[in-house]
Amino acid sequence: MKHIVLIGMMGCGKSTCGALLSQQLGIGLMDTDTYIETREGRSITEIFAQEGEPYFRMLEKAVGQEVGQMSPMVIACGGGFPLQTEAITPLKGVSHVVFLYRDPVEIYQNVAMSGRPLGQETQEAFLSRYQQREPIYRKWADQVVNVGVNPQETVDRILEVLP
Ligand code: S3P
């Protein structure tokens, strides 16, 4: 069995769906943001404010290298995780990577961005960030799943596309 790795834009539902999926499959869950927060003893917001984004990205790379060697689980990645080849490469091959697609306008208008340092931007900037990222999400994905009307529907769709 391989890891199931969820990637996609902040606010698309990776953490919520990842938690449900891990419960339903009876395997472990790694939320890369939570893992980093626990290890650092501070929030993502604090890490960005106190150390800057490059430090956070370095932590993500280290997580990718560690997780690649762990036993199979569901891994909910931070939205920027697959942007760094060094973070995502150790997971490719040992994982089934699923890009959760949710319309970025819908995300921006409906999802709370508190606790997301890069979500504190205008809708135009958010959409531009999404447009830069989407090809990268698609490049790493083994499957693309459109989010459903609720997390369970999304999880059901993920389960349908898993080999
Ligand atoms: C980020 C997304 C966040 C978190 C950090 C940076 C990004 O995770 O890793 O704030 O670059 O998109 P979520 O996708 O869970 O919001």
| SS3 assignment for the chain | CCEEEEECCCCCCHHHHHHHHHHHHCCEEEEHHHHHHHHHCCCHHHHHHHHCHHHHHHHHHHHHHHHCCCCCEEEECCCCHHHCHHHHCCCCCCEEEEEEECCHHHHHHHCCCCCCHHHCCCHHHHHHHHHHHHHHHHHHCCEEEECCCCHHHHHHHHHHHCC
143 CA from centroid of ligand 1 (Å): 21
Ligand 1 pocket mutation pick from 5, 6, 10 by most atoms within 8 angstroms of CB? 10
- Nearest residue to 134 via CA among 144, 124, 121: 144
Atom number of ligand 1 nearest to Cα 133: 12
Atom number of ligand 1 nearest to Cα 45: 10
Ligand 1 pocket mutation pick from 37, 102, 118 by most atoms within 8 angstroms of CB? 118
Ligand 1 pocket check for 78: Cβ under 6 Å: yes
For residue 119, the model assigns a pLDDT of 93
Closest C-alpha residue for ligand 1 atom 2: 79
In order along its 163 residues, the chain shows pLDDT tens digits of 999 999 999 999 999 999 999 999 999 999 999 999 999 999 999 999 999 999 999 999 999 999 878 899 999 999 999 999 999 999 998 999 999 999 999 999 999 998 999 999 999 999 999 999 999 999 999 999 999 999 999 999 999 999 8
For residue 50, the model assigns a pLDDT of 98
132 CA from centroid of ligand 1 (Å): 15
| Residues 30-68 pLDDT 10s | 999 999 999 999 999 999 999 999 999 999 999 999 987
Residue pair 90/68 in contact by the 8 Å Cβ criterion: yes
For residue 10, the model assigns a pLDDT of 97
CA distance 127 to 108: 8
For residue 61, the model assigns a pLDDT of 96
For residue 139, the model assigns a pLDDT of 97
Question: What pTM does this model have?
Answer: 0.97
For residue 158, the model assigns a pLDDT of 98
